[in-house]
Amino acid sequence: MTARRRTKIVATLGPATSSPERIEALILAGLDVARLNFSHGLADDHRQRVRLVREIAARHQRYVAIMGDLQGPKIRIARFAQGPIQLKAGDPFTLSIRHPLDAGTAAIVGIEYPPLVEDCAPGDELLLDDGRVILQVRSVDASAVHTVVTVGGPLSDNKGINRRGGGISAPSLTDKDRQDIRLAAELDLDYVAVSFPRSGADIAQARTLVRAAGSQAWIIAKIERAEAVASDEALNDLIRASDGVMVARGDLGVEIGDARLAGIQKRIIQHARTLNKLVITATQMMESMVSSPVPTRAEVSDVANAVLDYTDAVMLSAESASGQYPVEAVQAMARICLGAEQEPTSLKSHHRLGETFSRCDETIALASMYAANHFPGIKAIISLTESGHTPLIMSRIRSGVPIYCYTRHVATQRRAALFRGVYTVPFDAATLPPAEVSQAAIGILSAQGLLQPGDWIILTKGDFYSDSGGTNGLKILRVN
């Protein structure tokens, strides 16, 4: 039997992937989560893409989650009067809150974020255009930040500004984000990603707005500010407040420096899994495939490294949104994930050993994984679930045993598409006599050739199939 890919694939939809044919090709290539980037495109563009994803996934009996990614307070320079400029090392350059926003020159440009003058001090480094141009602050007055160029290069309109080490005080949620949260609720999105959160309080505020809009979407915190990784306490605060995190390596790498990025990526993945949360690894994973049909060896290693660290998902951005080879990028990513999973760093886990558990369903989930990893005959774990919480907890444990999320809820079926090593099976236990539930559940996998007579399975369920968080039973059953 061919091994099933455990690591999930998130791909951003955009101009290159808006037609029914392209979206269908992405889904058949292995797309698990479609990302809508609210920094680009009109609301009607997103509505159309959501409709196509849902229709095509249903036609192929696939479960594809959809994530809306909020733009957040990206701090930018304004525009240049005569088009792009060229800055050289040693040039003086001023960022002004009073300069006209469309009249930038090689000496001065307006900024669309007036509090920058309060956030900067002499000696600070400002990184423009994802670090391609670097400025050192010489002085600050009430209306401008005066700098000297230390790393030069071309600079064009609306490029982003980061401060080395973080410390930009912009609030996490903008008026546009609030509008996009209402759109996410209208479209019944499964996940909402929050850009540039500084603390758990930012995520709590986003969750309040998402629920007030009538959405039950899970909240993903994008880790992209230096403050978010300044200490374990700061990182854990963000992780605990969210349902999952994204290692957003673009802005994070600019703020902390590229030398520290790989080690911090591993720390974020480890902390998220320890705290029973999802984790997505993102940004430039296969950047060369924007214009090339094959990835570089370095990109193959980058994706495989995240897989071996047990990330839930790896993500494509421009590669699938605007690149020339979006389908090939998903195919390559699926191939690399499968290859890396053939060489696991470990099939045993020390997850939460020595700790006490706070919930009954968590206790059942972790007991199931201990049994699965220590009883060689176990070929599958079946979790009858309402919310998907039990299979999520199970998937935090390193194991080679597939986990099947049996649920009657469409929202849970789609949500589980992001969980590593978890596969969705539509199933309504409440419609069956209690004595027949176990055999009916086993029968579905047997009919698909996933179980053979003599195999063992673990089945978890609650006494009442309508209670979220009610998993309280574990059975070990033999396939006959």
Handedness of CA 165, 169, 173, 176 (dihedral sign): negative
Annotate the chain with three-state secondary structure: CCCCCCCEEEEEECHHHCCHHHHHHHHHHCCCEEEEECCCCCHHHHHHHHHHHHHHHHHCCCCCEEEEECCCCCCEECCECCCCEEECCCCEEEEECCCCCCCECCCEEEECCCCHHHHCCCCCEEEECCCCEEEEEEEECCCEEEEEEEECEEECCCCEEEECCCCCCCCCCCHHHHHHHHHHHHCCCCEEEECCCCCHHHHHHHHHHHHHCCCCCEEEEEECCHHHHCCHHHHHHHHHHCCEEEEEHHHHHHHHCHHHHHHHHHHHHHHHHHCCCEEEEECCCCHHHHCCCCCCHHHHHHHHHHHHCCCCEEEECHHHHCCCCHHHHHHHHHHHHHHHHCCCCCCCCCCCCCCCCCCHHHHHHHHHHHHHHHCCCEEEEEEECCCCHHHHHHCCCCCCCCEEEEECCHHHHHHHHHCCCEEEEECCHHHCCHHHHHHHHHHHHHHCCCCCCCCEEEEEEECCCCCCCCEEEEEEEECC
Q: Which of 222, 277, 379, 398 is catalytic?
A: 222
Torsions phi, psi of 423, nearest 5?
A: -125, 135
Q: Annotated catalytic residue: which of 76, 79, 260, 359?
A: 76
Q: How close are the terminal C-alpha atoms of the chain, in Å?
A: 20
Active site annotation includes 138:
no
Q: Which amino acid is at 411?
A: A
Report d(CA 257, CA 63) in Å as an integer. 37
Catalytic residue among 5, 35, 207, 273: 35
**Closest C-alpha among 72, 65, 74 to residue 13:** 65
Active-site residue, 76 included:
yes
- Tokens 């924007």 appear where? 290
Contact 202, 228 (CB under 8 A): no
Please answer whether residues 360 and 468 qualify as being in contact, where contact means their C-beta atoms are separated by less than 8 angstroms. Answer: no
Is 283 annotated as catalytic?
yes
Which entry of 94, 283, 407, 424 is annotated as an active-site residue?
Answer: 283
Q: Give the pairing type, strands 378-384 and 456-462.
A: parallel
Residue 274: active-site member = no
Please list the active-site residues.
35, 76, 222, 283
